[in-house]
Each structure stands twice: as C-alpha cells, then as structure tokens.
Amino acid sequence: MFAKFRAGILTASLVAGSLAVPMAAGAQETDSPPAATQGRFQGIVMETITTTIGVSQGDVMSQVRTGGTIAGLAVDNGSSGQAVVDALMVVLEDRLAVALIDGKIDEPKAEEIRTDRLVRFTTLVFETHDGPDDGRLGNPGIHRGEFRRLLMDTVQEVLSVNQGQLVSHIRTGGTLAELAEENGSSGPELEVALVSAVDARLDQAVADGDIDEERAADLLEKATARIAEVVYKMYLPGNGR
C-alpha cells in the first residue's frame, strides 16, 4: 500500500550510507561511516536533493509516494535529474578527497566507489521505487509504548541478540548502529528493517479499519525520522531510556 513511499525513504537511507568510504588497509573494510556520523551523512543526501531542486523534504517524499521520480520533481521545479545526480557526486567527491588524503583508500578504490555510487545515485533519481512485500507483524503498534516494543523486538530479531544484550549495550553508551556492525549488519540495514516493521503494522491498522491511509502515511513519515535518531543516537543513563 505504501510501497513507493516506503521504498523512496529507504532507498534514500541506503544511498546516503553509500557516501561512506572504506577504512584504511589492514582494518576491517566497511561501506558505512562510523555510527556516530552515519545519520549526519544521511541528512546530507536529502539536503543535497532538496537544495538542488529548491523544494522541501516533504515535497520529495510526496513525489515518491505518488509514484513519481526525483528527476520528474526536478524538472517541475526548473532543474533536472542530471543536476541532482551531479550534486550528489560532488558530495561524494568531497568525501573521497578526504579519504585519499588520510590514506584510507587509494585512487583505484576511489574510482571503483565513484562508478558504483554513480549507478546508485542515477537509480535513486531517475527510477520509481517499488518496495518489498513485507509480511504482517500482528496488531498495529500505534501508541508510544507499542512503538517502542516493536522497535526493540525488531532489533533483537534482526541482530540475533536478546533483550539483556540490547539493554546492556545501550546502558554502556553504545548505539544501535554500532551493535548492528558488531553483529554482521549495519546502521542503514537496521533502519530499513525497523521502518519496514512499522510500515507493516500501519498497513495492518489500515486493513483493520483502525486508521485511514492518510493517517498511516503521516505516522510512517514521523516514525522514519524517529527511527533515524534512535539508530544513531547514544542514550546514556538519565536520558529517559
């Protein structure tokens, strides 16, 4: 039901993660930046898109939700899809330049990343995005308590950890993105799983007649923003978590 809306948000998150560069030789290679900075780079991708086109984040989400492309939105606002891709590549080049100076990658690796990201950015901007057929997860978790429970259950399932391990990690100042990395996943992948879980609950709520589609879309947008914060933010004792 919200496949295109969901896919647009999740694709943006994954492409944002693709701005990352690998670590230096000899260290564990990763395609994600440190957990503490991942959320910031996700914001850069959306910011680059909105700034280049001259629209708001809501405009971008609405365009994708209704089956349109970011390129189409750009044309409607006097820009072009290629201009958006070029702007995203400029952001990537800035990151690659720093990584090259710091010795984290060499030029052949930088060129490999450029080629890969160009394909990803082009797909993001010029194609519509149909989401996966997610399974339902039971009754809708709409109020705050059930929302938290849903997130906790999904984190444990995706990362194969128990509640004790999850709580212990958070209490010691770790982020969920770091826990994901430690368990063979990543922050962006965990975000995808969490948003998909919430989306499935909202789909079920609509099917059951508990909420309408407009309300579900609004809740999904708010949940997506909240999940991005939850995954990358450090919660120390006393933060109310």
- In the prediction, which pLDDT does 134 show? 34
Reported for 20-27, long-range contacts at CB under 8 A and 24+ positions apart, including other chains, are 20/95, 21/95, 21/96, 21/99, 21/104, 21/105, 21/110, 21/113, 22/99, 22/104, 22/105, 22/109, 22/113, 23/104, 24/102, 24/103, 24/104, 24/105
What number of helices (H) and strands (E) belong to the chain?
Answer: 11, 0
Over the stretch 44-58, which tens digit does the pLDDT of each residue have?
A: 788 899 999 999 887
Neighbours of 147 (CB within 10 A): 18
54 HSE (CA, 13 A, CB side): 8
Looking at residue 219, its amino acid is L
- The Cα–Cα gap between 70 and 194 comes to 24
Tokens of 78: 């006097």
Tokens of 170: 């958070």
pLDDT tens, per residue, the chain with 241 residues: 444 444 444 444 444 444 554 444 333 344 444 433 344 445 678 889 999 999 988 788 778 777 788 999 999 999 999 999 999 999 889 988 988 998 888 999 889 888 888 888 888 888 876 443 333 333 333 566 677 788 888 999 999 998 888 888 887 888 898 899 998 888 889 999 998 988 888 888 888 777 788 888 888 888 888 888 888 886 544 433 4
- In the prediction, which pLDDT does 144 show? 62
Over the stretch 174-226, which tens digit does the pLDDT of each residue have?
A: 889 889 999 888 888 999 999 898 888 888 888 877 778 888 888 888 888 88
